[in-house]
Structures are given as C-alpha cells and as structure tokens.
Amino acid sequence: MLNDSLTTIKGVGPELENKFSLLGVNSIFDLINYFPKRYEDYSVVSKISEIKFGKVTIKGHVRDAKGRYVRRGLHITEAVLTDESGSIKIVWFNQPYRANAIKSSAEYFVSGNFELSNNRLTIMNPSMELASDFPANTARILPVYKLTKGITSNTIRKIVREIVPIIRKIDESMPEWILRESNLISRSQALELIHFPEKSVDIQRAQERLGFDEVFELSLASLLNKNENNQEHSLKIEFKQELAIEFVKNLPFELTQAQRKVVWQIYKDIDLSKPMNRMVEGDVGSGKTVVATMAALMVISEGYQVAFMAPTEILARQHAQTIYELLKPLGMSEKLGLIVGSMTSKEKQYVKDELSLGNIKFIVGTHALIEENVKMEKLALVVIDEQQRFGVEQRKKLMSKATEMPHFLSLTATPIPRSLALTFFGELDVSILDEKPNIRKPIITEIVSPNTKLEMYKNINSELDKGHQMFVICPLITDSAVMDANSVEKIYKQLSEKDFKNRNIAMLHGKMKGDEKNKIMQDFIDKKTDILVSTTVIEVGVDVPNSTVMLIEAADRFGLAQLHQLRGRIGRGSDQGYCYLMLSDSSAPSPRLRALVSSNDGFKLAELDLSLRGPGAIYGVSQHGELDLRMAKLDNLTLIKNARKRAEEFINKNNDLKQYEYLYNRVKKLRIISNLN
C-alpha cells in the first residue's frame, strides 16, 4: 500500500502525479514523508467584530459572490463573509470558479490575511472550505510545503488528508522500550501530527520523534559498520620508541602537545590486529601531515606499505615534498613514491612496477592511485586527505588493494562540530588537533566596503613591496546575469590594467585544463607571480608560505566554513597574514563575516556555520541526499547523544533488527552509503 502510486489516492490523476514527481514524490510513502518546511497558524477561530490585522480565521456564511475581469489576465471575485457579530469583504484574485462554487446556505471556515486594501478592510485571497471537525486548509495550524509549478500547499494538504487512515496504520519502527525511555510518541502519530498538528506542541513532539529516528538510524548504521570493521583482521604494527624519538629529534620545529597526543592514539590503534578507523581533524596549519608521516613511519619500518591519497595533483606533490623532507634525515626518503595524472605513461609504469615489487613503501598520489593496474605488495595503512572530496567507492577501491584490511586514517582541515562527528562520522574514532605551531600568527581579518578599497590597496601594496604574494578569490569565473558578483575574469582585467598594473598577475579557475592549472599554481609557488586571481579551487591544501595577503571579493557570497578554509591558505609561514573581506555593496556586514573577523578558531566558526546553514555547508554531506537530516536539529546535542546511546543499547541487547521492517531497510541503505571502508 505504501508503495502504491499517487493515482490510487482520491483526487490525484496522471497530470497531478507528474507534477508531484518533480518534487521527488512518486508513491504514497514519499508523500507521507514529504515534510512541511514551515507552518502558519490559523487555528484561532474569531468573530468578525474581534479580528485584528494579520492572519485570521472566521466561521460564517458567504454571500453576494460576484466575479469580473478588471483587465486582461486579472480576474477578481468579491464576496461578503458574515457571522452573528458582523460582516466583512473577502477578495480572491484569478480564481473565477469561486463565485459559482459558493453555497449561500453552507457554513465555511475562511482563513486569510486581514489587511487594508484600497482604503477598505478586506481578507485577501483566503483559503475557504466547508466547516468540519477536520479541516485541511483552514481553522488550524497549516503546514507549508516546498512547491513546484501547478501544486499549492492547499493541494498537498488536501491529498495528504485523504491518506490519514493509511498513516494511522503505519507499523512502529522502534522497540517499545526506546519510546518509553526516550519519551517519544509513535511513528504513526508523528507522521500524522507533522502534517496535521492541532497545536504547537504537536509539531515539536512530531519533529522530536522523526529527528530521533534520523539520528538513531544513522547511529545504528555506523555502529554496526564499526562492529563489523572490528571483526576484520589487520597487520599489527609494533611501536618502535627509538625510531619515533629519532624522527622527532630531526624535526625543524617542536611538536605540539595535540600532535603528540594524536600520534600516540594512532600508535595504540595500529598496534592491534584489528583495523584502525580514525579521523584526524585539525584547523588549517595544525600539522596533520606530520602526524600522518609519524603513523606511516612505523608501517614502512616493518616492510609494509602506505598509500596517501590527496584530492588534487598540486596537493599530492606538496605532500610528497613535505614527507620526503621529513623522512630524509632517517635515510628513508628513497622509499617514497608519487603517482599523479600528469605523469607520462613511462613514469607511471615505473612507479607501478616498483610498487608491485614492494620497493616503494610510501606512495603518495591522486585518483591515479585507484587505477586497476596499480598493485601493492603489502598495503597496511591508507591515509586519505580531505576525504569528503572522495566518493565512498573511490575510498573502497583504494582499501581493496590490500590483501588484509588496512588501517585507515582520514585527515580533514574542516573542523567538525561534535554533533556531526557523532552522526555522519559515528563509525570513526575522532582525534582533534586543536593547537597550531608557535611560529604562526593569527590572521588579521578586516571587512572592507567597496568605497574604502583604495586604502586597502595601499596596505596590500606595502606587503607586496616586501616580496610577499596575494590570493584574490572570486565567486564566479565569468560575469553572470543572475548573480551580481565580481568574476575572476573581470577582477583579473581590473587589477592587471589599473590597480596593480605593475605586478605580475595570473588567473586560475576550474574550467582550465589540469596541466594549465598546475603550471599557473606552480609559478605562484615559485614566486614568479605576485597576485593570483582565482575561484575557490585553491581552497584545500595549497601551501605557499610566502603568500601573506588574501582578498575575497563578494565575501558575503561565501559560507563561513569556506571563508575560514580560504583564509587558511595564507600566513602559513612566520610572517603576519592579512585577509580582506570585500562586501558586494555598502550594506552592513552579516553576522558570519563579523564572526570571522573576531575569531581564528575554526571549531567555533564551524559550530556557528552549522547553526546558520546546516550540515551540507560544513562537510559536503549534501552529496549524499540520503544522509541529509530533515528533522533532526544538529544543535540539539541532547537528542543526538540520546539517539546514539539508544542505538548502542539496541545492539547490546541483541534486538532483532529484522523485526522492524522500516528500520531494517533504512539502516541497510545507510550502512552502504556511510561506510568509509
């Protein structure tokens, strides 16, 4: 029944069914789970003599309904609504059927906006239906839905009301003990109340139950994946204290306490014969590459192999260079290899041969690592940098190159709020690098209005005169008729011909070919270019210590987490970094821009961005539509912790998941989508 098409519902024909399909609603199940985006309260039924401006509902008779065209394309229907206390005019636009449909003897609920129009008090474009105990579009709290052309919220409410008997028969998807201990209503109640709440508390209770379900399902899937992962066998990597001490002694800097703590967590993980599954999250510049290298050190010292995959060729080359310098004092740099797309076939083949023979112990690369003909002899550790940039299948392909389940280490420069770590990444053990090396100074960030940019250019020139470099970031490649924001091409032309015409300026964006992008970026790294005008392609990982200035055009067009990531590309040496946030116009800056000025703490900013824009903005989770939480509020840590606790108890009590069909199917799907191995 739940899988039946919408045409089995009274009032839905093929034409309306096609319109619903544009909303992703193709079955009764889809319709039930098509939740409102907000609500309008028309639940208070008032007398005409008592109404005030705003949303009103009146129970009365409608008379003197007349319709007319006032001009081509505009039809007006006017009528009088009366009750025992008085009467008032009501008006509809472009609803010519209204006049003939009204029964003067019938009593109606009329809900709409009471306002002053053409110097007359009127209820404009109201919803109207026969008075009853269960109205769909009047005299109640009305759900408002995301719509498409040809479908109104009134239509959806009317159709959903037809299937209320089906909603009431929906099976429970949770054990009774979970509902009792978490004080939750039944699933069928929640689904009915989310569409037809009687009062505000009904919305709250429905959202609480459905939000709990979302987090519980995700938590259960991740915990089952984690338990299954723990049953796998991995190569046990013993900790060699002398080797670690020797490595640290040769570093050109001192490890932070956070780095020491995280490295020790990793060493304890890989010293077990079950696979490590750990994510290291650290703000930009917190030293994740050093941590990963220290993890790899123990692996390659035992003759096993490490694969380190990065999202871009530039980043892979930079990692390889950094790791080479870190391993060189120990005489282990010759065990390092690199494989990226731009290498010649002959170069790639040489690396592949050395890998398959086991001569290369530490391979760094891009997607080229997961090509079928890349064979590894004894892969024991997989490291993925910015893993949200890779799909689940890509990660699995790399892991599958090991004969036994390899240890897995994920690195991310995007600080993850606690709630996201517990839900979207629940199967991973999380380590946090919350310190930065002492040599790095906090970036000075300033908001700039277009009419004060000349003073900013003066400050920038003084930095460039010192031999430093600048990134200029734009939201668009070319000018757009839709979005009023400066483009890479426009700003490049402006800076080259006017504001910085005596400087070497280059342009970079995602539509360029790989070789061209790599050359432009390498020229900037080699200090052949003073200013690089770019889109956000430089957001992740690019390390240019000599770059001390960043100008972000139309900064109000970017999200907070993304702005922080961009800002992290500068000030990576010992020199002071400066980030200028150029507004699109002279309007007051948004709270997120002001937050960026006041804080360099990526974790605090990530929490704020989560509350402002949701999880997809933080960690790219919107790439998996099935993972998006529609009801669970990710700032409700109490709900999230409770749902995760109940998921743990569900497993510990050996509850039979197959006993709950909906939950079983949902968790099965989520396990496939969210599994990182």
CATH number for the domain including 64? Answer: 2.40.50.140
Say if residue 17's pLDDT is above 70: yes
pLDDT at 41: 93
Residues 73 and 27 in one domain: no
Does residue 228 lie within any of the structural domains? no
Residues 502 and 362 in one domain: no
pLDDT at 600: 84
Q: What CATH number does residue 530 fall under?
A: 3.40.50.300
pLDDT at 623: 42
Q: What is the pLDDT of residues 604-655, one digit of tens each?
A: 887 787 777 665 544 444 444 455 678 887 778 889 899 999 999 999 998 8
Q: What is the pLDDT of residues 118-146, one digit of tens each?
A: 778 899 999 999 999 989 899 999 999 99
Say what the pTM is: 0.76
Does residue 518 lie within any of the structural domains? yes
The contacts of residue 659 (CB under 8 Å, 6+ apart) are none
Does residue 18 lie within any of the structural domains? yes
pLDDT at 475: 86
Query: Is the Cβ–Cβ distance between 554 and 488 less than 8 Å?
Result: no
Residues 450 and 332 in one domain: no
pLDDT at 14: 93
Task: Say how far apart CA 628 and CA 622 lie, in whole Å.
Answer: 6
pLDDT at 622: 40
Query: Is the Cβ–Cβ distance between 426 and 223 less than 8 Å?
Result: yes
Query: Which range has the worst mean pLDDT, 118-122, 320-324, 351-355?
Result: 118-122
Over residues 195-214, mean pLDDT: 95
Alpha helices in 533-614 (DSSP H): 560-567, 591-598, 602-613
Does residue 29 lie within any of the structural domains? yes
DSSP 476: B
Residue where a domain terminates, one of 412, 434, 452: 412
Owning domain of residue 111: 44-139
Over residues 593-607, mean pLDDT: 85
Query: Is the Cβ–Cβ distance between 330 and 261 less than 8 Å?
Result: no
Q: What are phi and psi of 337, to 5 degrees?
A: -135, 160
Query: Is the Cβ–Cβ distance between 531 and 472 less than 8 Å?
Result: yes
Does residue 368 lie within any of the structural domains? yes
Cα torsion angle, 334, 335, 341, 346, sign? positive
Residues 479 and 534 in one domain: yes
At 560, the amino acid letter reads L
Pairing label, strands 108-117, 54-71:
antiparallel
Cα torsion angle, 638, 641, 643, 646, sign? negative
Residues 392 and 260 in one domain: yes
Task: Say how far apart CA 670 and CA 373 lie, in whole Å.
Answer: 31
Does residue 85 lie within any of the structural domains? yes
Residues 504 and 530 in one domain: yes
Residues 49 and 34 in one domain: no
Does residue 468 lie within any of the structural domains? yes
Residue 19 structure tokens:
């319109």
Strand order in the sheet with 444-448: 444-448, 578-582, 547-552, 469-473, 531-534, 505-508
Residues 36 and 51 in one domain: no
Nearest to 384 by CA among 228, 533, 277: 277
pLDDT at 531: 95
Over residues 595-606, mean pLDDT: 85
Residues 250 and 390 in one domain: yes
pLDDT at 625: 46
Does residue 207 lie within any of the structural domains? no
Nearest to 564 by CA among 414, 438, 425, 428: 414
Residue where a domain terminates, one of 539, 574, 599: 599
Under the banding of pLDDT at 50, 70 and 90, the label for residue 439 is low
pLDDT at 542: 67
Residues 457 and 557 in one domain: yes
Residues 348 and 371 in one domain: yes
Beta strands per DSSP E along 521-648: 531-534, 547-552, 578-582
The contacts of residue 103 (CB under 8 Å, 6+ apart) are none
Residues 322 and 405 in one domain: yes
How many distinct structural domains can be found in the chain? Answer: 4
Q: What CATH number does residue 160 fall under?
A: 1.10.150
29, burial (CB in 10 Å: exposed 0-12, middle 13-18, buried 19+): middle
